[in-house]
Amino acid sequence: MRMRDFIDDLGLKEGERYRGDCPQCRGKNTFTATNTLGDIQYNCFKLGCTIRGIYVTDMTAAEIYQRMKDQQTQRAYTNIKKEKETMEIPEYVVTPKANHTKYQRFIRRWGIAIADTLYDVKDERVVFPIKHKGRIIDAIGRAVGINHPKWYRYTGEADYYTVGNGKTLLIVEDVLSAIIATQELPYITAMAILGTSLSPKHMQKIGEYNRIIIALDPDAIGKTVEYRREIELWTGNKTTAMNLLDDIKYKMDEDIDKLKELCNATSSSD
């Protein structure tokens, strides 16, 4: 099949993006095509696949303008509809007290210093609220008793968890690693993906940072490589993948030193 026919069949409108299987190498979900003002840029990010290019459609300026206007109207509308709902905190999720021993032991064990954690007395979970525009929209709970699963999401509204205000973004495996990383490196922002794959929502957020470092747990090296490739292609930002000796939460000296070095190197070259 000719690439031109394939792209025509997608029927991409201005501003739309397609992601799916590659027509050339059959890579699963590795092919993207984006229509920017009538120019359709496409590429495949599977290693070894050479498919990439720009295909110019014959939209007139008037058509492009009309479509942009339609989309702006539509976007304004969906923004109102899609505002994330504030989470209703259940009665059994409370401000932690000194006699919540399982909570206190967990906080001490990991040296957690952030202030806004809660405690789920029913399921025995340390609860990390997730805010969006100043409101709590979701929370993630870490079991400290016999309950499973280990991690529990309270609403599922959040797309990711971030902590810190730095300009360098460190992508880590989970919420605990994110918190511990920012305690060790207060000048960064750390992000936990809260899932197994990167979505456009992640990319939008990741795109706000100039420097990106990925440091997933050592058993996730395949995922690290994949994320790095996807992030560089989606955002165009330089992304560094770091091999850890152990999960960040264990704070191995070598890992933390290497991470500091990487963050310093990336921030000083600005």
Interaction site with Zn ion (CB under 5 A): 22, 24-25, 27, 44, 46, 49, 51
Estimate to the nearest angstrom the gap between the alpha carbon of 111 and the chain centroid.
Answer: 25
Instruction: Give me the least distance between CB of 228 and Zn ion, in Å please.
Output: 18
Question: Which residue, 28 or 69, has its beta carbon nearer to Zn ion?
Answer: 28
Q: How far apart are CA 49 and CA 1, in angstroms?
A: 16
- Give the DSSP letter string of 134-150: TEEEEEEEEE-SS-SSS
Question: Which residue, 10 or 51, has its beta carbon nearer to Zn ion?
Answer: 51
Q: How far apart are CA 255 and CA 249, in angstroms?
A: 10
Instruction: Give me the least distance between CB of 193 and Zn ion, in Å please.
Output: 24
Q: What are the residues whose beta carbons fall under 8 Å from the beta carbon of 88, sequence distance 6 or more?
A: none
Question: Which residue, 51 or 220, has its beta carbon nearer to Zn ion?
Answer: 51
First and final C-alpha spacing in the chain: 45
Question: Which residue, 46 or 67, has its beta carbon nearer to Zn ion?
Answer: 46
Q: How far apart are CA 153 and CA 139, in angstroms?
A: 6
Instruction: Give me the least distance between CB of 47 and Zn ion, in Å please.
Output: 9
Instruction: Give me the least distance between CB of 54 and Zn ion, in Å please.
Output: 16
